[in-house]
Copies of this chain bind each other. A is one copy, B any other.
């Protein structure tokens, strides 16, 4: 009954406006969701099929094609809209424990030669700075608040990681005291 993040993303896009598969693909790439949601091109029709089988979306007539094969436009059913709201609410409320790969790497720190580790941390610092700049640049001040909050979240997480990394690179071996 629960929706995966990918399913919720797709369903949400359809709640926003009825669309056909190809259009979803376009929207996903246009909004830069490809990187985040990890919904591949092939998955779209697959997920659409699952959502339809569950009765959360339904074919809302076929659109007059610009050119080429007829396209199937999908729209959420009333059930689908409810499910979307419930799943979104659930996603907001639940804190998912994360153990990102970087921590797995750090847990194996003892096997990494020290100078390689230092270099790896430097590479991370660079990537982090670049990412922060990128997110800042992408964050339009005129975006609606519910979009801004997403950027704020990402930025907050990235900056926290940056502070942590700076402290850690500064004194890689010395234990530090609590705040």
Contact = CB atoms under 8 A, between A and B. Distances in A.
Interface stretch (A20-28, A46-54, A60-68, A159-167): A159-167
Given A81-B111, A92-B106, A152-B167, 10 more contacts: A84-B111, A90-B105, A92-B102, A94-B124, A95-B124, A95-B131, A97-B131, A107-B146, A145-B174, A157-B161
A9 interface: yes
Given A106-B150, A156-B163, A159-B160, A85 B113 contact: yes
Interface in A120-179: 120-121, 123-124, 127-128, 131, 136, 139, 141, 145-150, 152-154, 156-157, 159-161, 163-164, 167-168, 172-176, 178
Contacts of A168: 149, 152
11 contacts: A5-B101, A8-B108, A36-B99, A85-B116, A87-B105, A90-B120, A91-B106, A94-B123, A98-B98, A109-B146, A148-B176
A91 B113 contact: no
A178 B159 CA distance: 13
A96 interface: yes
Interface residues of A, number: 75
A147 B168 CA distance: 12
B88 A108 contact: yes
Given A152-B168, A160-B160, A88 B109 contact: yes
B94 A127 contact: yes
